[in-house]
Structure 1
Amino acid sequence: MRADAKKNYSHLLSVARDVVSEHGTDASMRDIARRAGVGLATLLRHFPTREALFEALLRMNLEALTQKAGELETSHPPDEALVSWFREGVAFVQRYSGVVALMASAHADPDSALYATCVAVHSAGARLLLRAQAEGTARADMVGDDLFALMSALAWLVGQPSFAPRAEHLFHVIASAILSNRSSNAAPPTTHSSIPEP
C-alpha cells in the first residue's frame, strides 16, 4: 500500500471508530464518508462493504487487546494482570454497540475474516486466567469462555442508563467473583483506568 493510500486508510478507520462508537454496528457508511470528508465511492474503494469496514476496525482493536494481554503478563502479578485486562475488554465491548454478536459469531466461524483475531484474543485472556489460577488467585472453576461471557454481560449492563452510575461498583463485584480467596468486601487489585461512561 502506498504511503498516501495508507494514510487515507488510517484516516477512514479513525473516523469510522468515532462513528461506530456513537452509533454501534448500525453506523451508516454514507455518514462515515461524510465525516471523513470523502465521497462514498472513496470509502467503498477501501472497504467494499460495511462488514469489511467493521472487520478492519474490530481487528485493529482486538489486536491491541491481545497485545495488552502480553504486556500485562510480563509486567504485573497474575491477579492484577487478569483484572486490568478484564477492564480493558469490558471497555472495548462497551465502546462498540453490537460488537458482542459479531465477535461471538466470528469466534465460531473459521471462514470469518475475524476468526483468527477473535481466537487470538480469547487465547490471550484464557492465558491470563490460567496464570492467575496457577498462582491460586483466580477461581479454579472458570475457563476462558466464562471470562468472555462475564466481560460481555458486564459491558452490556453498564451500557444501560439505569446501571451506568453503578458501573465501577459492578466491575468490582464481578472482578471479586473472578478472583479467589477474597471476601466480598475486599477490593480487587487497583487498576489505573475506569469503565467509560456510555
Structure 2
Amino acid sequence: MPDRPTRSDARRNYDRLVEAADLAFTEHGTDASFDEIAKRAGVGSGTLYRHFPTREALMRAVFAERINKVCAQGEELLATDDPLHALTSWLRQLIDLTMRRGLATALVAREKTSTSELFHACHEALRVTARPLLARAQLDGGIRPDLALTDLLLLCHAIASSVERSREGAEQANRLLDLVLEGLRTRPARS
C-alpha cells in the first residue's frame, strides 16, 4: 500500500488530498479534475503533483485509504460487547465499500501489475480484520462454527455485486445481508 509522508505538514497535505480525491472520485468518477481536488484539499496543484505524480498514484492512495478505514472500523468493533452485532456492522461497511467499485475497476483498466499487488495487500488486510470478528461471533454462539471466512467474504461480494447498480442498492444490500446472516445463525439441532 502507498507510503504516507513522515513530516507532519506533508502528512496533513497528503491526507487532505486523499480525502478530497475520494470525494471527487465518488462524485465525478476517476477522471475528476486534479485542480478541483487540490482546491478542495486547500493546497496548490504543485503540492498535489509532488505527492501524486500520476492519476494512478492518487487512485491507489484513495483505494488503500478506503480499505484502511474499513479495517480500522473492524478493529474498533472488536472491542464491543456483542460479537454478532460487531460482525454484522463490519460486513455492512464491507459491502458498502465493495459496492463502490468504480475506483477499483478504473485502476484495473489503467495498470495491471502494481494494481494486482495493491489488491492482494488490500484483500489480505480485509481478511486479517474479518477473521477475529467472525471467530468471536462463532465462539459466542451467534454464527455457525462451520462457516469459513472465505465463504462469508464471497457471500458479501455476491451481495454487493448483485445490487450495486440498483436504485435501492444500500437498502437491498442490507436486506440481503440480514437474510444471509439469518441462515448462518446457530440453531438448535432438529430432532
State the SS of the aligned residue for 2:96: helix
Report the Cα distance in structure 1 between the residues aligned to 2:186 and 2:27, rounded to whole angstroms: 37
TM-score by length of 2: 0.72
Q: Quick one: structure 1 residues 145 and 48, their matched pair in 2 at CA, closer, same or farther if it must change by over 3 Å?
A: farther
Does the CA contact (< 8 Å) of 2:63 and 2:103 recur in 1?
Answer: no
Does the CA contact (< 8 Å) of 2:38 and 2:45 recur in 1?
Answer: no
CA-to-partner distance for each residue in 1:58-112, whole Å, 9 max, x for gaps? Answer: 2222222222222212213221111111111112222343538979xxxxx9x82
Partner of 1:181: 187
Matches for 1:86-125 after TM superposition, within 5 Å = 86-99=91-104, 112-113=117-118, 115-125=120-130
Partner of 1:28: 31
Does the CA contact (< 8 Å) of 1:19 and 1:32 recur in 2?
Answer: no
Deviation at 1:13, TM superposition (A): 0.8
Q: How many residues align?
A: 174
Q: Quick one: structure 1 residues 81 and 161, their matched pair in 2 at CA, closer, same or farther if it must change by over 3 Å?
A: same
Does the CA contact (< 8 Å) of 1:15 and 1:32 recur in 2?
Answer: no
* Percent of matched pairs sharing the same residue: 31
Partner of 1:152: 157
Report the Cα distance in structure 1 between the residues aligned to 2:98 and 2:75, rounded to whole angstroms: 19
Report the Cα distance in structure 1 between the residues aligned to 2:49 and 2:28, rounded to whole angstroms: 19
Q: Quick one: structure 1 residues 161 and 32, their matched pair in 2 at CA, closer, same or farther if it must change by over 3 Å?
A: farther
Partner of 1:58: 63
In the alignment, structure 1 segments of 5+ residues that lack a partner are: 104-108, 183-198
Deviation larger for 14-23 or 82-91 = 14-23
State the SS of the aligned residue for 2:186: coil
> Is 1:169 paired with 2:175?
yes
Partner of 2:86: 81
In the alignment, structure 2 segments of 5+ residues that lack a partner are: 1-5, 109-113
Q: Quick one: structure 1 residues 176 and 85, their matched pair in 2 at CA, closer, same or farther if it must change by over 3 Å?
A: same
Partner of 1:19: 24
